[in-house]
Structure 1
Amino acid sequence: MTIHNIPLTRSAAALLAAGQHLRRKDAGNADEIFEQLTHKFGEHAATVMKKLSEADAKMGAFAEQVAEMEQRLARGGGGFQPAQPETWGHQFTKHKGLASFREEHSRPGRFRVEMKTTLTNDPASGGSLGVPTRDATVMMPRRRMAVRDLLPVVSVSSNAVEYPVQTGRTNNAAPVAEGALKPESGLAFELRTLPTAVLAHWIPASRQVLEDVPQLRDIIDGELRYGLAFVEEGQILYGDGSGSNLDGLVPNSTAFAAPFTITSATMLDTIGLAILQNALADFPADGIVMHPSDWMRMRLLKDSDGRYILGDPQTVVAPNLFGLPVVATQAMAADKFLVGSFQQAATLYDRWAARVEVSTEHADFFVRNLVAVLAEERIGLAVKQPLALTYGDFGNVT
């Protein structure tokens, strides 16, 4: 059934049938009701046709997009290869206006085509618009600091530390008869004062850079703190006590003197004898410090059958000798070693833990928008038991 050449849906036919029924039932009102239903049906039909038209338009646009994609793939050689940019010659010869120009102009004339410029990676083209990927900052290598961990560390709140040291012992203990006078012994002490020393360094930096690049601030902090730790480890081992230098472990240690002689002694034998020297001084050793090259020389020692003494190369061997941890650090001179009861030998005092500060209070930094980034620490080192440290040389032993 149709009205004005528009096909009726099932619902619309039902509405029309209802109108005809009402027209037969009540001729007086039927015409009015029928006109209302016909009007509503017309609105419904117009809406449907509008939606169908919109759907056709969308499908047409989609078809054009698919066709364009197929053309691009064809120009790119098939598959999913990217389309190659069209040359100016290609653009000119395929231009639609060229064919018309040939047909309409038998005499000399002029034909003009605006060429499309293709963006490339050339710096003069789109290459200058590219933004490079920023990878992580490549930092210089850092040494692992471990000598501090061998020592007891005490935090202090003053610029100097006082500690008593026993300097003498008179032991007159003896068996005493009943009623006899008991012998008297004596102890001597000395109060020593240790000043704390400041380790510090700084670098200039732009205030804008520090505010705009937060990662740079972290890098600067880390580098400055590492610089302090690097110098601190050298001072702990070899500080000579002059000026503001620490009075280090090595200058206050006891020279190695083998308790007995071993024929054709190896490096392992030398360390064993140094451990014995500490034990005989009543300071059982709790650690060993040596250069990494000396540790590797020991690690490569072999027996008469060619087997590695400290374990096969494919096994993980912890730096450990005779049950004591080995601290391998380049802060210790090569061919040297330090065996000690470090917990009893010395104490490290922290007046200021390592800290980093930023200030404009330097020269004309304020008006130049510059800042001084300062790192510093304040520490003291007291070597209380020189006999607890044994320092020696491997010499020509293997």
Structure 2
Amino acid sequence: MPNLAAAITEIGDKFTATASDLASRLSELEKRAAREPSGDYFAGNDNNPLAAALLDSKDVQNLSSEFRGRAVVKLQGERADITSSNTTVGAGRSAGTSLVPGHRVPGIVDPYQRELRLRDVIGSARTTSNSVEWAKEAGFTNNARPVTEGTTKPKSELTFDLATAPVRTIAHVFKISRQMLDDAPALAAYVGRRGTYGLQYVEEQQILNGDGTGQNLNGIVPQATDFAPAWNATAETDFDRINQAISQAEDSDIPVNAIVLNKRDWRKMLGIKDGDERYISAQSPFGLQDQRLWNLPVVATNAMPAGEFLVGAFQDGATIFDRLDVEVLLSTEDGDNFVKNMCTVRIESRLALMVSRPDAFITGDLGSITSGSE
């Protein structure tokens, strides 16, 4: 009997082991089957991104003969097509491949922007009208003199005139596809920033040199008084010419507050040497040179043509009246934007320039400093 019991125990152990092994194998088969696509709704292709998206779509998996409506399948990842032409994007394309992607620096590298400083020295105000008017003195006959008691007093004369500065609009627009805005979200901000700079660039040119025709501002230089020195300087340099111009502007009895020069002219002035080949400026060439001449700030800008200067009472002799600050608007409701899936970016400002004392501004040419010879 002991042998029979041992045999039964051995058979039971083998059965248990076999059953456990079969259970493990069945479980593994079930797991593998679960990982396989069902295949009853689509024959997949692992190399096809659309096929992969369809295989992953719950809407497609739930389709049946009873289905009515629509199923939405979204392609995830970097699969959006940018159809913009080279006129916008340029001929440059990424040299990276799917295996070795290029190192992409974030953002867009934009050209360096000119420093716009003219507004810093000009008085400013606001207006709610489409023009700015001011009464100005047209003539003054001053007959004041000492008189004898009881005699008739001399009569003086004053005449006035009305001057007007219209509010002008400076604006431009950009066209951007909706796809570009979706694919490059930073593009809208970049266009707004560069478009604003372009607007202010033209504004500074207009304030300085606008000829007043058509929709142009009547700038300061065209209204300024021509340089006519009151004395002849010995061994005249451009420093002397600027000093003479300041004196001429001071005849208007308004405090002169700035000098406008081209950047190249300012640099050439810094390099002027005396008869012993020593720099006139104590800070040249290694020290920090303050942008001042004759105790007045120098506005060095390429908006002023090389070889010319402007000196004057910018704070009290001229005023910028802002009607509309720089505004950036995006709209899809423009022309055929809806049909073409485009967006229009409009950037504009409105302002008037009042030059109330043209005699407080003196403009002229510099001497040999811009001739290219020393």
Residue 358 (str. 1) matches residue 335 (str. 2): no
State the match for 1:94 in structure 2.
none
Contact kept in structure 2, 1:283 and 1:387, CA below 8 Å:
no
| Alignment map for 1:164-175 (pairs within 5 Å) | 164-175=135-146
State the match for 1:190 in structure 2.
161
| Alignment map for 1:286-325 (pairs within 5 Å) | 286-310=257-281, 311-325=283-297
Most deviating of 188-197 and 274-283: 274-283
Deviation per CA, 1:15-60: give whole Å up to 9, x if none.
xxxxxxxxxxxxxxxxxxxxxxxxxxxxxxxxxxxxxxxxxxxxxx
| Alignment map for 1:317-336 (pairs within 5 Å) | 317-336=289-308
State the match for 1:378 in structure 2.
350
Deviation per CA, 1:346-366: give whole Å up to 9, x if none.
211111111111112322111
Q: Distance in 1 between matches of 2:331 and 2:147?
A: 72
Contact kept in structure 1, 2:271 and 2:284, CA below 8 Å:
no
Q: Distance in 1 between matches of 2:253 and 2:157?
A: 21
Contact kept in structure 2, 1:239 and 1:246, CA below 8 Å:
yes
State the match for 2:5 in structure 1.
none
Which residue type is aligned with residue 356 of structure 1? V
Deviation at 1:345, TM superposition (A): 2.3
Q: Distance in 1 between matches of 2:103 and 2:253?
A: 65
Contact kept in structure 2, 1:198 and 1:376, CA below 8 Å:
yes
Q: Distance in 1 between matches of 2:246 and 2:126?
A: 30
Residue 145 (str. 1) matches residue 116 (str. 2): yes
Q: Distance in 1 between matches of 2:155 and 2:172?
A: 55
Deviation at 1:344, TM superposition (A): 2.6
Aligned residues: 274
Report the TM-score when normalising by structure 1: 0.65
| CA root-mean-square deviation | 2.0
Deviation at 1:131, TM superposition (A): 7.6
Aligned to 2:146, what secondary structure does the other structure show?
coil
Which is bigger in relative contact order (C-alpha 8 A, separation at least 6)?
A: 2
Deviation at 1:214, TM superposition (A): 3.6
Aligned to 1:259, what secondary structure does the other structure show?
coil
Residue 348 (str. 1) matches residue 324 (str. 2): no
Report the TM-score when normalising by structure 2: 0.69
Aligned to 2:352, what secondary structure does the other structure show?
strand
Q: Distance in 2 between matches of 1:314 and 1:172?
A: 58
Q: Determine which structure has more spread, i.e. the larger CA radius of gyration.
A: 1
Which residue type is aligned with residue 316 of structure 1? L
**% same residue:** 42
For residues 191 and 280 of structure 1, do their structure 2 counterparts lie closer, same or farther at Cα, with a shift above 3 Å needed? Answer: closer
Which residue type is aligned with residue 279 of structure 2? Y
Contact kept in structure 1, 2:177 and 2:341, CA below 8 Å:
yes
Q: Distance in 1 between matches of 2:308 and 2:132?
A: 31
Contact kept in structure 2, 1:240 and 1:247, CA below 8 Å:
yes
Most deviating of 375-384 and 187-196: 187-196
| Alignment map for 1:151-170 (pairs within 5 Å) | 151-170=122-141
State the match for 1:19 in structure 2.
none
Deviation at 1:198, TM superposition (A): 0.8
State the match for 1:180 in structure 2.
151
Deviation per CA, 1:154-173: give whole Å up to 9, x if none.
11011111111111112222
Contact kept in structure 1, 2:270 and 2:284, CA below 8 Å:
no
